Amino acid sequence: MALEEDLIVELLAECPNVHVGMAPYETPMPYVTWQHIGGDVLRYADNAPADKRQPLIQINTWAATPLQAFALIQRIEERLCAAAAFTARPHGGPIGAYDDAGVASGYLQTFSILGAR
């Protein structure tokens, strides 16, 4: 399985609503969104691609209250760091966020994930 498929499996284990990029309007809370935000490109000395990739992935949790969103990102951090399918390392702690409409509270956290190409 590719790294993104493995990631989605882990995220779904913590929250039934997982979306790449943005969630559709009126998605039931809580929900998780995630996106690629760069990372290291792994290539061998002959410039051939490695069998693994190491992107930076931003995970966003959204809930009715900040404490619910924070609890969800904490559970996700523990799950990703314990995952067998890839190696995940947080790049700093969670950052609080709010949606533009003031309906949902969120937390964002970035992970470096080394996994299958």
CA-based radius of gyration for the chain: 15
**Identity of residue 65:** T
What whole-number distance in Å separates Cα of residue 83 and Cα of residue 5? 13
Q: Is the per-residue pLDDT at 111 higher than 70?
A: yes
Band (pLDDT 50/70/90 cuts) for residue 99 is: confident
Q: Are strands 52-63 and 31-40 parallel, antiparallel or unpaired?
A: antiparallel
Question: Helix 3-14 vs helix 66-82: angle between axes, to the nearest 10 degrees?
Answer: 130
Residue 44: its pLDDT value, please?
Answer: 93
> Average pLDDT, whole number, for the chain?
95
Domain with 84, as residue range(s), is 3-116
| Percent of the chain clearing pLDDT 70 (strictly above) | 97
Task: For residue 95, give the CATH number of its domain.
Answer: 3.30.2000.10
Contact 91, 39 (CB under 8 A): no
Band (pLDDT 50/70/90 cuts) for residue 1 is: low
Q: Is the per-residue pLDDT at 98 higher than 90?
A: no
Q: How many domains does the chain have?
A: 1
Which residue, 17, 19, 15, 110, is CA-closest to 71?
Answer: 15
